[in-house]
Amino acid sequence: MTYEENYQRWLTADAVDEATKAELRAITDPDEIKMRFSGYMTFGTGGLRSVMGAGTARMNLYTVAHATEGLARLILKTPGGAERGVAVCYDSRNHSADFARRAAEVLSADGIRVYLFSELRPTPVLSFAVRHYGCIAGINVTASHNPAEYNGYKVYWEDGGQLPPDHAATVSAEIAKVDIFDGVPSPERANPSLITMTDASLDEAYIKNVLAERVNPDAIPAVADSTAIVYTPLHGTGGTLIPDMLRKAGLTKLYTVDAQMEPNGDFPTVKFPNPEFPEAFTLGIEIANSVGSDLIIATDPDTDRVGAMAKNKAGEFCAITGNQMGALLLEYICTAYEQTGKMPADAYAVKTIVTSELSARVCEAHGVKLYNVLTGFKFIGEIIKQHEEAGHGTFLLGFEESYGYLKGTYARDKDAVVATLLIAEMAAYYKTRGMTLIDALDELFEKYGYFREEVFSIGMSGADAQEKMAALMKNLRENPPREIGGKAIATVKDYLTEKTLDVQTGAISGTGLPKSDVLWYLTEDGNLIVVRPSGTEPKVKVYVLANGKTDEITKECARVCAAGIREILG
């Protein structure tokens, strides 16, 4: 079926509501119709994500139901899967609750038990719920920190981690077999008796697990009278649990950004609801300055990512990057456990290959085994699962440069709730030493060396965005650079071909990780550049990870390497 035929079918199908048809009739640009109907969203290990709107390549009730039917067919092939059921959660984005309800209708119509969240909740609560209820799978309707026009559909499997690649392939194949209208159960066929709404007991069980991850439960109460923290959920789900959790941990001077506490899918006070951007902290800084706080914490809409800003010696608020916060948390956790005699002999941590090697130095200093995995928290979850099945290894922390952290094994996805708790506890610890988190970061660099990063993206537009991304990666492989920013390349890892090349000797070995469309370059002076297509958006992401003897040298290395790879990529 051509995209024009697909478009006409949606205009005439009885299954399509009149509001959707009116939206389609209003489209005047032929390219817009082509973009919406040339194909379906790709269902991968990250599920689905796209702009909301009518069409097969957009997030709407019909594509959500279509994907859910594909998942239902996988579950029905899994012994006991229907009885174990599926937990279904959603965030604050526009239409998220509608999409979650439609997913529950399809699953129940197919005879599958559903645990439908009664209210919006953070993504990590969904991961926890899958394990708590013993579900076979979970669905979370969220687009994380994307702009307001986006929504998404993430699928989890029985361990609480995102859907494994083989199951994602099965779901994708099943979706391809199903007609988006005729093959999907209508809302009228839903079975309400199979839908159970969650209640407060789930929140209580989750928060109990989060609070159990405190490294030193006395740290926050010890400085409660002198420690003020500002928190904002950026109009997302974090406000449902984080303030109460922090108070239970002993924080008495908690100030919230009231203008951003109410869930709102339009995100009216921020251009991007992303704690990676300092601009998201503007309102928080105003409040922090007025109440005398030296720490602001912000979580993204689905509360799986967290960012922070802290005051430097000049009294100015400075952003702490995801890489820096991961290293700070790791140093704090190790130090606190050592000071209290609780450091496990078999401790391990996990980070991604695009996360700063500063953490490697921290682990080496504390005798902690560090694992490097591909980008995506599901790979961190797999390492946890392997250790649990093997019966050894104590998990300290999992983290990635994109502001995602997890301590504890109650969930299998990044958790900004527990990360917020740990950041507050860490700030309390440094408060007793007369330091802010920026002071702590300076101390970390002095101890382990200086590390700086630059991350940027090359956006692709149009109906052929995927083809453009593939062409960029193909050209980079066929015309491999010999140097980046004037720095000779010493080692190249191509995770797609699963080969590592020693440029000087010509020796080839494996990568030790699963196949993935990622190119990894190490320069002779130890700087790292990684290029990979995004799995959720039409863009190619570039990571520059530099290190040096001084902060000035390191910043310059990062700048030069970033400029060099930009020139190569055009």
In degrees rounded to 5, what are phi and psi of residue 400? -140, 160
Q: Which DSSP category does 245 fall into?
A: H
Query: 3-class SS at 553?
Result: helix
CA distance 69 to 185: 8
Radius of gyration of the chain (CA): 24
Q: Which residue of the set 50, 92, 144, 293 is catalytic?
A: 144
96 part of the active site: no
3-class SS of residue 79: coil
Closest Cα to residue 358, out of 277, 441, 264, 434? 441
The residue type of 113 is: R
Does residue 198 come out as left (phi exceeding 0), alpha (psi in the -120 to 50 range) or beta? Answer: beta
Q: How far apart are CA 339 and CA 406, in angstroms?
A: 22
Nearest to 436 by CA among 347, 314, 353: 314
CB atoms within 10 A of CB 352: 23
Determine phi and psi for 432, rounding to 5 degrees.
Answer: -65, -20
Q: How far apart are CA 129 and CA 206, in angstroms?
A: 8
Please say whether the dihedral angle defined by the alpha carbons of residues 479, 484, 487 and 491, taken in this order, is positive or negative: negative
Per-residue exposure over 107-134, b if at least 16 CB sit within 10 Å of its own CB, e if not: bbbbebbbbbbeebbbbbbbbbbbbbbe
Cβ neighbors of 251 (< 8 A, separation 6 or more) are 220, 224, 227, 229, 424
Cα 87-91-94 angle, rounded to 5 deg? 125
3-state helix, strand, coil in the chain (%, to 5): 40, 20, 35
Residue 282 near residue 234, CB atoms below 8 Å: no
Nearest to 304 by CA among 160, 187, 456, 425: 160
Residues in contact with 254: Cβ distance below 8 Å, sequence separation at least 6, in sequence order:
228, 229, 231, 243, 246, 247
Where in the sequence numbering do the catalytic residues fall? 144
